[in-house]
Amino acid sequence: MARGLKRGGSLKRAGHRSRLERQRLGRIPEDTIQEVRDRADIVALIGRYVELKQSGRNWKGRCPFHEEKTPSFNVNPDRGIFHCFGCQKGGNAITFLVEFENLTFPEAVRSLASDLGIEVPETGGRREDRGEREALYESIETAQRCYRDHLSAPEGKGAREYLQRRGLDDATIDHFGLGFAPDSWDSLVGQLDRARVDRKVSTSAGLIMEGRSKGHYDRLRGRVTFPIADVRGRTIAFGARAMAADQEPKYLNTSESPVYHKRRALYGLHHALEPMRRAGRAIVAEGYFDVIALYRAGLGEAVATCGTALTPDHARDLRRRTANVTLLFDGDQAGQNAMEKALAILLPEGLRVRAVSLPDGQDPDDFLAAQGAEALQNLVDRAPDAIEAVIRRVLLKGCTSPAEKADAVRHVAPLVAAISDPIERSEHARRLAIATGTEPSAVESVIRKVQSGGSAEADESLAQTLTPRASGGEERHLRLIALILTRHPGFVTDEFCSQMQEVLPDSPYKRLALAIADAAAEGWLATEGGIDLGACEAQFEPELVPLLRDVVVDDSMLDQETPASEMLVHLVGRYVAKDLEAREKELKRQMQEPDADLQSLLQERQQLLERKRASVSASS
């Protein structure tokens, strides 16, 4: 679910289709619809999205249409229906897809029919007018076939050898559908043209890009490809890995599209659903090869994000399927920092989280190659509670003086405060007090202040919370960012969204800015080029709607003399610079430690300095 949008918040819901559009989709015979209803396994279908447990003749789980702690969502396989006693949503397999995936009725019927091997005859409409989403799926699937063919062809020899060096056999390559994008500017463009795929559709899918001369070229070139699938196994995007050491960037994804949003997508989820059910957990890793390494080790319940940090949407998706998550990130400092940020996202959703500690500098692929499958399985199975792991790591920095004790408590307290269950939260607070040798009442006081939104200015013990809240001046800057995006949604790019997510301080206006970015990605645009305010008001979370109206109505903060693009770059650049300065300060501190790896830290600092120079250049 997009940040700031209501669940099911796509503008193109079934009720919003025009009569002409419904006619173009073509009519499906009623007996075909009935056959789809009769043959659909509603438990298996909904089980892809919700963790279901049998309760008598029904299956129960937490409702995917509203937030709840006690399961009230029931699925009856005998009647082929679902019903939630909490929000009163109900229907059959077809209506579930209509409601949950925001499909039209014909799209939902065709989707289920495809899964069941049922041919859908057309009694009206043309194949090429079946709708944007279906055209996107077909174009992406065509690209997947092309990439797979290239991998097995003579030009794919280098890619095959690269995968073999990484330890992948043919069965694993086939299981994950890996392919190869040739180092050619228009190989895929030509193949899509021959397959009569509209270039506008291919561009919208992120497969090709338009050049300056109005021609098109392949987005992915000279790389191994990883198909990213939705929960039903349909390819929706691609990740791609460089094979040469000097090829940059190392990883590249196709861009977001109406069927692919990286804040929601999880690589490997389609393969992991059944292993997750059997294991009673999900393993969240950092990258594509990590997921494949875990699969090779017999841990098929692994997933990874797609070029972005873990988001609340990911956390909610995982929570519908399991109560237990194991985080497996790289053993270096960056991996540990990412683990703590992921923990802060997962805990508020009520998930119980463990964290694997890999040897410093190793990723799962390295560990599997060095130690073997059984060792990796044991490492994952014996993973400690994630907060316990954070406490242990903090204690290694020293916890003897009062200042060190205070540092340790305020580092861990925001994570403890994020735990939704009061009993678990209280127990972790007690353990944190014991580990640091501090009074339990003092620890609980810090945690309560974090929960109540206490600021660093009000209490020094909160100075290092993981998600600092914006100050008054920062609120005005964030408000201005949101205002500019409402008027110029064309400024929104994948890179810009990731940058906002990473560096902007926590604030309702940050959530509004990200929601506006998602709306731009969905195509909710007014005729004059700005955001479609009516669509946004209908789909945004209720608490964001007054903020949206506020920034739209009062534009007094806009500087009419300065171009909006320049203002936006300057505003976000301020936070990028602050983030880089904080990282540089942390590196300097680490370099003072007796056992510091100076060579590695110096390399990291050099990269940081290059980023600072690039940031200054971009802002000037």
Cα separations in angstroms, 136 against 14, 244, 511: 18, 31, 29
- Specify whether the CB–CB gap between 143 and 207 falls below 8 A: yes
Distance, in Å, from the CA atom of 510 to the CA atom of 481, rounded to the nearest integer, reads 9
Residues 136 and 125 in one domain: no
- Does residue 480 fall inside a structural domain? yes
Residues 29 and 118 in one domain: yes
Query: Any idea of the CA torsion for 139, 140, 144, 150, to the nearest 10 degrees?
Result: 60
Residues 285 and 349 in one domain: yes
- pLDDT of residue 162 exceeding 60, the answer is yes
- Does residue 405 fall inside a structural domain? yes
- Does residue 506 fall inside a structural domain? yes
- pLDDT of residue 18 exceeding 50, the answer is no
Choose one of 94, 129, 164: the last residue of a domain.
Answer: 129
472-487 and 564-591 helices, crossing angle to 10°: 130
Average pLDDT over residues 391-416: 88
**Which letter does DSSP use for residue 71 in this model?**
-
- Does residue 258 fall inside a structural domain? no
* Concatenated DSSP letters of 514-541: HHHHHHHHHT-B-TTSSB-HHHHHHHB-
Residues 75 and 47 in one domain: yes
Choose one of 108, 129, 150: the last residue of a domain.
Answer: 129
Residues 486 and 573 in one domain: yes
pLDDT at position 508, please? 81
Average pLDDT, the chain: 82
Residues 290 and 362 in one domain: yes
Count of all residues that appear for the chain in the document? 620
In terms of pLDDT, which residue wins out, 212 or 229? 229
- Specify whether the CB–CB gap between 491 and 478 falls below 8 A: no
598-619 and 564-591 helices, crossing angle to 10°: 160
- Verdict on whether the full-model pTM lies above 0.95: no
- pLDDT of residue 345 exceeding 90, the answer is yes
pLDDT at position 209, please? 93
Residues 347 and 446 in one domain: no
The CATH number covering residue 172 comes to: 3.90.980.10
Residues 216 and 295 in one domain: no
Average pLDDT over residues 14-34: 56
- Does residue 528 fall inside a structural domain? yes
**Residue 73 CA to its chain's centroid (Å):** 25
- Does residue 7 fall inside a structural domain? no
- Assigned token pair, 591: 């370099």
- Beta-carbon contacts of 263 under 8 Å, excluding residues fewer than 6 positions away, are 2, 3, 308, 311, 313, 314, 518
Residues 291 and 270 in one domain: yes
Distance, in Å, from the CA atom of 91 to the CA atom of 436, rounded to the nearest integer, reads 53
Choose one of 409, 427, 462: the last residue of a domain.
Answer: 462
Distance, in Å, from the CA atom of 277 to the CA atom of 288, rounded to the nearest integer, reads 21
Structural domain boundaries, residue 374: 266-383
Confidence category of residue 462, pLDDT binned at 50, 70, 90: very low
The predicted-structure confidence for 92-127, as pLDDT tens digits, reads as follows 999 998 888 767 788 788 888 888 888 887 555 444
Residues 49 and 160 in one domain: no
Query: Any idea of the CA torsion for 129, 131, 132, 138, to the nearest 10 degrees?
Result: -80
- Does residue 6 fall inside a structural domain? no
pLDDT at position 528, please? 66
* Concatenated DSSP letters of 251-289: EEEPPPBTTB-TTT-EETHHHHHHHHHHHT-EEEESSHH
Q: What's the domain count of the chain?
A: 5
- Does residue 526 fall inside a structural domain? yes
Pairing of strands 282-285, 324-328: parallel
Residues 158 and 213 in one domain: yes
pLDDT at position 523, please? 80
| Residue 184: CB atoms within 10 Å | 15
In terms of pLDDT, which residue wins out, 263 or 578? 263
Residues 117 and 193 in one domain: no
